[in-house]
Amino acid sequence: MSDLGGLLSYGVFFLAQAAIFAVVCLGLNLQWGYTGLFNIGVSGFFLVGAYAFAILCGPEYPMRLGGFGLPFPVGLAGSVAAAALVAWVVGIPTLRLRGDYLAIVTIGIAATLQLVALNAQWLTGGSQGTGGIPRPLPEAADTVLGRNLLMLAVVAAVVVAVYAALEAVVRSPWGRVLKAIREDETAASSLGKNAFAFRLQAFAIGSAIMGAGGALHASFIGFVSPQDFQPVLTFQVWTMLVVGGSGNNRGAVLGALLMWAVWTLSGSLAQQLLPADLQVKGGAAQVVLIGLVLMAMLVLRPRGLIGEEAVVSREAEVGPARGAGR
């Protein structure tokens, strides 16, 4: 009986984390799949959401901003707003850049945000991180399994909400303009649509969704530190989207579930098979494995498992000119 309980517990834990990734992946899908924005700074907006939640809902620490002890929904909303704000501020100068340059800059943004998290003690607690971040409705359940189930329910609700909202948005007039801009910007501009404004909105909304994911992560784990927001996180989310199928919200969710399963499975395998002193190397091998999956997908099936055809080729027409490698 306890074995089943253990398995159930593990399953719930796994699904909750997969669902958090699904949220972030949906945000990236809006930016990349629907708008063609090349954001390789995913970890940065996830970080903003996580720390914003920690500050709003977490306990008080000496000499540090925080301890407001606000309820979960307020914290979530605040994180979403914070991520959106950062994206807005960063997007105004950045989104005029295209393709490669946008990619490079977003990497720098994520790196800078992590640097701030590492050094701004008064804001984030520095390299030690910050803990004691509460779950939603902490009194409602008193077993570990109960608490995790509750969290899973909350995260799943967010996934459903974001999914529904994005599906609606994509079919809305706003979404149609976005699609038109993605397909042919000059034509769309000639119709009087300010392409830049739309792109900025998509960027901000997508980043806001990533921030929500960050808040959920902070609440679930209860503790955040700068080491949680490395480039490997961005890489995981991108792999999920590419594998699942960009331009398709179901693809985003599917990719998140699937790749998280691959990740955790390979992680446990490494843990079981490798002796203690090779654990770090096991982690490294894990990344290499995931990388190979991404590469294989990009080469063999760039549209992903259930993705749209030719979504990824948009930037090719507006990016840097075709090179010599034919």
Partner 1 sequence: MIAQYAADGIVLGATLALGAIGLTLTYNILRFANFAHGEFLTFGAYFALVFAALFAGGQTLGPLTFGWGFLEAVAAAVVLTGLLALVLDRLLFRALRRSDVTVTLVIASFGASLMLRNVVVFVWGSRPEYYSREIAVRSELLPGVFMSADEVFVIGLTALAMLALALFLSRTRLGRAMRAVSDDPALARVSGIDVQAVIRWTWLIGGGLAAVAGALFGLTVQISPEMGFNMILPMFAAAILGGVGSIQGAVLGGLVIGLAQALSVPLIGAAYKPAVAFALMFLILLFYPRGILGGRT
Which one, of 125, 137, 111, lies nearest residue 59 by Cα?
125
Among 10, 11, 71, 119, binds partner 1 (CB under 8 A): 119
> Residues 4 to 63: which contact partner 1 by CB under 8 A?
38, 40
Choose which of 62, 93, 173, 192 interacts with partner 1 (CB under 8 A).
93
Q: Pattern of binders to partner 1 over 156-195, x per CB under 8 A? A: ----------------------------------------
Of 53, 46, 86, give the one whose Cα is nearest residue 234. Answer: 46
Minimum CB distance to partner 1, residue 326 (Å): 7
315 contributes a contact to partner 1 by CB under 8 A: yes
Q: How far is the CB of 299 from partner 1 (least distance, A)?
A: 5
Alpha-carbon distance 27 to 9, whole Å?
28
Q: Which stretch binds partner 1 (CB under 8 A): 130-138, 161-169, 170-178, 308-316?
A: 308-316
Nearest-angstrom CA–CA distance, 326 and 316:
14
Classified as helix, coil or strand, 224 is: strand
Cβ proximity to partner 1: between 128 and 172 the closer is 128
Whole-number Å distance between alpha carbons of 117 and 209: 20
Could you identify the residue written with the tokens 């979504």? 311
Q: Is 305 strand, coil or helix?
A: coil
Tokens 């960009």 belong to which residue? 246
Amino acid identity, position 152: L
Which one, 113 or 216, has the nearer CB to partner 1? Answer: 113
Smallest gap from residue 244 Cβ to partner 1 (A): 15
What part of residues 195-234 is at the interface with partner 1 (CB under 8 A)? 231-232
Both tokens of 64, joined, read 């540090």
112, two tokens: 């800078």
Task: Pick one of 14, 68, 88, 101: the residue that binds partner 1 (CB under 8 A).
Answer: 101
Which 229-248 residues touch partner 1, going by CB under 8 A?
Answer: 231-232, 235, 238-239, 242
Identify whether the C-beta of residue 5 lies closer than 8 Å to the C-beta of residue 145. Answer: yes
State yes or no: residue 294 binds partner 1 (CB under 8 A).
yes
Inter-residue contact 249 to 311 (CB < 8 Å): no
| Backbone φ and ψ of 224, nearest 5° | -130, 145
Report the nearest approach of partner 1 to the CB of residue 39 (Å): 11
* Residue placing its CB nearer to partner 1 in the complex, 177 or 232: 232
Instruction: Based on the shown chain and the rule CB under 8 A, indicate whether residue 275 belongs to the binding site for partner 1.
Output: no
Number of residues that bind partner 1 (CB under 8 A): 51
Query: Is there binding between residue 79 and partner 1 (CB under 8 A)?
Result: no
Could you tell me if residue 74 is left (phi over 0), alpha (psi between -120 and 50 degrees) or otherwise beta?
Answer: alpha
Nearer to partner 1, 171 or 301 (CB): 301
Minimum gap (Å) between residue 43 Cβ and partner 1: 12
Task: Give the span between the Cα atoms of 226 and 205, in whole angstroms.
Answer: 24
Helices (H) and strands (E) in the chain, counts: 13, 0
Looking up tokens 């970890």, which residue turns up?
Answer: 43
Residues that bind partner 1 (CB under 8 A): 38, 40, 93-94, 96-97, 99-101, 103-105, 107-108, 111-112, 115, 118-119, 231-232, 235, 238-239, 242, 280-281, 283-285, 287-288, 291-292, 294-295, 298-299, 302, 312-313, 315-316, 319-326
